[in-house]
Amino acid sequence: MALDLSRIIKAYDVRGLVPTELSREVARAIGAAFAAAVVLPDAGADARPGVVVGRDMRESGPELVDAFAEGLTAAGVDVTLIGLCSTDGLYFASGQMDLPGAMFTASHNPAEYNGIKLCRSGARPVGQETGLAQVRELAQGYLEHGIPDPAGDAGQVVERDLLADYAGFLRSLVDLSGARPLKVVVDAGNGMAGLTVPAVLGDAAGLPGLPLELVPLYFELDGSFPNHEANPLEPANLIDLQAAVVANEADLGLAFDGDADRCFVVDERGGAVSPSAVTALVGLAEVTKELAAGRAPTVIHNLITSRAVPDLLSAAGASVVRTRVGHSFIKAQMAQHGAVFGGEHSAHYYFRDFWFADTGMLAALHVLAALSSQDRTMSELAEMFEPYSGSGEINSTVADAAAATERVLHAYRAAYPEVVVDTLDGVTVSHWESHPQWWFNLRASNTEPLLRLNVEAADQDIMEKVRDDVLSLVREPAVPTEEEEAS
């Protein structure tokens, strides 16, 4: 019996255990389905269809890429293999070559996983509502009934190295040549930043040196992640970086996840800088550049980012648009509004000048440029963009997410009749227009019995009170039924 692909093809990408869920056979079927559902229809009748494919450092990558390419070429699609790259390196290739793309990575997942991130030409997203559902349906049929015989000539496979082009393109967007010298500790987590950081921030790609002293941590590409998980969103995975920044008396630290599309910042004291502060900082740089060029800038942020983001960027002259959590949603809003920049609480940063796609490396360049252009420390600079107190995301295991959410809504509507409630993504309850100022969002996980809580308030005490009150309601023990009491 064929694997149920709904287990591994989710809302935004493909991700599964190798080889029990994501095998050569599955990768080949997904390649053929991607060709049929996306690549061939987009190419038109006269164009020669092609796909660019990259991979991270996981051991299973080469075999899965080979099988995926077999599925594409059998359908008459040419394949350009760019080898080891970051996810934003694949987006660069898709944008620069104007081809659909596929990146083999499981991001920060453990070593036994792999996955595929798909995009249309120009790095346009392929999500559940923009082609991924059709890919899953076709691939499922191919697994159960076989891949159709090719209708014409098979596609060809070529290899191409784009690392230097990628590095040069990013350097062209942010000028660091005249910056004051900085000492920067970078934790690559044994992920793809070990390849891209020396190319972009160093001279490994043949670019001129920058006024940066790089202190590398875990730059060896190793998909078994021997030092720590490549997920800087978890505080435990920042400990080594924080200690190294202080020990080396560095100006700041940077951490990247496994496929190096997310960037996290640590200040000179070892304190983590919130992604919302980075969103505001980078957004301000992009807004200032747009205004100087006589353009009216728009910035996108998801609903979990700090209220400091819309407050500061609106005051700077930007139009600010709030959107759902998830890269496919924010990319769609970026394109729809022609936004110059977008940021998420998860440290994904999106740029119009990067085909509306996310790139942690470009965000890092902006942070370095902002710090080096003035005399403040990183902690002093970050403090300007972190005026409020946030809880971070807190997960609660619940048997009935809808019932727990309704419990919270009922209690808060009764206690605070003036609150504003919206349901853009989960429920957001806001008391921001009254005093004391606070808001929170509750979102149910799509894949686990979890409720995710984010709280922000104008001061720490209020944030902690709202956080604890909401959690007590969410985690309230269920009332036993009469049958359960009798037993």
Instruction: Report pLDDT for 178.
Output: 80
Confidence band of 24 (pLDDT split at 50, 70, 90): very high
pLDDT of 361 above 70: yes
pLDDT of 480 above 70: no
Amino acid at 42: D
Tell me if 214 sits within 8 A of 197, measured CB to CB. yes
Q: Which of 60, 94, 107, 389 is catalytic?
A: 107
Please choose, from the candidates 354, 362, 360, 363, the residue with its C-alpha nearest in 3D space to the C-alpha of residue 95: 354
Helix (H, G, I), strand (E, B) or coil at 487: coil
Q: Two tokens at 472?
A: 């007590």
Mean pLDDT of the chain: 94
Q: What's the rounded Cα separation, in Å, for the pair 229 and 257?
A: 8
Confidence band of 484 (pLDDT split at 50, 70, 90): very low
Helix (H, G, I), strand (E, B) or coil at 146: coil
pLDDT of 477 above 90: no
How confident is the model over 202-230, as pLDDT tens digits?
999 999 999 999 999 999 999 999 999 99
Extract the runs of DSSP E, i.e. beta strands, from 229-348. Answer: 252-256, 263-266, 272-273, 298-302, 319-323, 341-343
pLDDT of 478 above 70: no
Q: What percent of the chain has pLDDT over 90?
A: 87
Per the annotation, the verdict on 107 as an active-site residue is yes
Instruction: Report pLDDT for 342.
Output: 97
Reduced DSSP (H G I as helix, E B as strand, rest coil) percent helix, strand, coil of the chain, to 5: 40, 20, 40
